[in-house]
Amino acid sequence: MKVKKIFLPESELPRQWYNILPDLPNPMEPPLHPGTGNPVGPDDLAPIFPMQLIEQEVSQDQYIDIPEEILEKYLIWRPTPLYRAYNLERHLDTPAKIYFKNEGVSPAGSHKPNTALAQAYYNKIAGTKRITTETGAGQWGSALSMCCALFGLECKVFMVKVSYNQKPYRRIMMETWGANCVPSPSPETKAGQAILEKDPDSPGSLGIAISEAVEAAVMDENSKYSLGSVLNHVLLHQTVNGLECEKQLEIAGDYPDVIIGCAGGGSNFAGMALPFVRDKINGKDIDIIAVEPTSCPTMTRGPFAYDFGDTVQMTPLLPMHTLGHSFVPAPIHAGGLRYHGMAPIVSQLLLSDLIRAEAVPQLETFQAGITLARTEGFISAPETDHAVAVAIREAIKAKEEGKEKVILFNWSGHGLVDMAAYEAYIQGKLSDHSLPEEEIHRALGDIEPLPKPQQYRKGTIS
């Protein structure tokens, strides 16, 4: 009988995360302080992150031990199964073998608990009582709420008000896990009050919610702040997934020719890809593709530059591919991919040609999601559908080239809380958004005065 899904025994759960920083052929440039323009030091970050996470952010150790307490709780959903998509392969009539890693089996339904659990743990042992964060549609907020519950921490989530009102289910998940979730802008912080004074009906934004969560952490000595993507330590924690994939493909007797992940801030893509990027640096030939929406083309049309991580210009300046912190993407359903920047590690890999990027329009992503659902059963998150779409593109390409390639993609999460998006697609109410060059130029104008990285590269590279 053919093997359909490859489970690893619990004893094969990776004991270390993989840190790519010491292996990078071109070193990363440092984040800069938004006020002074000097490189950011550990002391600058100490008010908002526990020291062990700050150390991981800059660590040059190639492997970092996963503490026993985290391993024990990873076992709730890890190792996650790797599936072979035979039915999708037959449907596409492709000679390619398609594998996908199911990160949707975590209790929160996505890859995000891989880092939420680690962040909750390091806060717990540092004496933090409460973690604050922001969330858009609620995927990150729900993952962190669950992991705070597992370690007995309080969790405070500032949820963008328009989503808070339109998407109650993730908020109810957070409340079920014991978190306190408020609509942002809220009257609880100075940042929120200032917005509400000017506009009591403000729908909120991720930028405003970040300001509120950071302020709430800084103002309370028992609180720290937590981020669900972009930063080096977040990507580090996610590598547990790629390390599992390596072992599972070995059991299957295969090695990937193509690796695909969707990228918003870059964490699920990097979590799967980084251990294979290590192989590529050591000479393997792998095509590694980060997929973004055409309506938020950070990597395919944005420059590599220094920019703020948030809209309100509070965070350090990060060296990354960016569309400018004032860029507001069209309201596509893949909310987790509507971010103006990209993880500095992922940006650096793109700059070094170790990975490449592809952009996909919204309708193609939902078409791909429906194809996957009708062949393999699983209903993906709208973000995940971007990876599915490029896996299908690559399988069709393999057929045209007559090549028996091995394609591996990360199934970052299920879409069972996103059914309204599928309804809109099925009823023909969705459209593709074109993004005029002028809008990108406008938003990039705002980062012109900022310092430039040494490896500065202008935008619209494809």
Ligand X SMILES: *Cc1c(COP(=O)(O)O)cnc(C)c1O
At closest approach, how far in Å is the CB of 387 from ligand X?
A: 8
CA quadruple 390, 395, 400, 406: dihedral sign: positive
- Joined together, the tokens standing for residue 412 give 């970052």
Nearer residue to ligand X within complex by CB, 50 or 415: 415
Question: What is the crossing angle of helices 139-150 and 168-176, to 10°?
Answer: 10
At closest approach, how far in Å is the CB of 208 from ligand X?
A: 19
| DSSP E strand boundaries for 193-286 | 223-225, 258-262
CA distances from 205 to 84, 136, 214, 311, 331 (A): 39, 8, 14, 9, 12
- Compute CA 139 distance to the chain's CA centroid, rounded to the nearest angstrom: 11
At closest approach, how far in Å is the CB of 261 from ligand X?
A: 7
Nearer residue to ligand X within complex by CB, 64 or 231: 231
Task: Determine whether 377 is exposed, middle or buried from the number of CB atoms within 10 Å of its CB (0-12, 13-18, 19+).
Answer: exposed
SS3 category, 389: helix
At closest approach, how far in Å is the CB of 449 from ligand X?
A: 28
Q: Which residue do the tokens 């547990």 mark? A: 240
Nearer residue to ligand X within complex by CB, 186 or 229: 229
Nearer residue to ligand X within complex by CB, 94 or 267: 267
At closest approach, how far in Å is the CB of 131 from ligand X?
A: 17
Task: Determine whether 211 is exposed, middle or buried from the number of CB atoms within 10 Å of its CB (0-12, 13-18, 19+).
Answer: buried
Whole-number CA gyration radius for the chain: 21
Nearer residue to ligand X within complex by CB, 215 or 383: 383
At closest approach, how far in Å is the CB of 270 from ligand X?
A: 8
Please choose, from the candidates 145, 83, 76, 135, the residue with its C-alpha nearest in 3D space to the C-alpha of residue 106. Answer: 76
Nearer residue to ligand X within complex by CB, 268 or 311: 268
Nearer residue to ligand X within complex by CB, 207 or 336: 336
Using Cβ positions, the residue closest to ligand X within the complex turns out to be 413
Nearer residue to ligand X within complex by CB, 242 or 264: 264
Q: Which residues contact 205 (CB under 8 A, 6 or more apart)?
A: 160, 311
Nearer residue to ligand X within complex by CB, 263 or 443: 263
- Segment (H or E) for 48: none
Nearer residue to ligand X within complex by CB, 181 or 337: 337
- Segment (H or E) for 18: strand 16-18
Please check whether residue 288 is in contact with residue 39, taking contact to mean a CB–CB distance below 8 angstroms.
no
Nearer residue to ligand X within complex by CB, 212 or 385: 385
What is the DSSP track for 91-152? HHT-SSEEEEEEGGGSTTSBSTHHHHHHHHHHHHHTT--EEEEEESSSHHHHHHHHHHHHTT
Going by the DSSP 8-state scheme, the letter that residue 230 receives in this structure is: S
At closest approach, how far in Å is the CB of 386 from ligand X?
A: 8
At closest approach, how far in Å is the CB of 163 from ligand X?
A: 13
The contact set with ligand X (CB under 6 A) reads: 110, 112, 139, 229, 262-269, 336-337, 381, 383-384, 412-413
At closest approach, how far in Å is the CB of 162 from ligand X?
A: 17
At closest approach, how far in Å is the CB of 143 from ligand X?
A: 8
At closest approach, how far in Å is the CB of 378 from ligand X?
A: 12
Please choose, from the candidates 90, 212, 116, 86, the residue with its C-alpha nearest in 3D space to the C-alpha of residue 159. Answer: 212
At closest approach, how far in Å is the CB of 268 from ligand X?
A: 3
> What distance in Å separates the CA atoms of residue 153 and residue 401, rounded to the nearest whole number?
53
Nearer residue to ligand X within complex by CB, 186 or 241: 241
End-to-end C-alpha distance for the chain, whole angstroms: 45
CA distances from 426 to 45, 54, 367, 414 (A): 46, 45, 9, 18
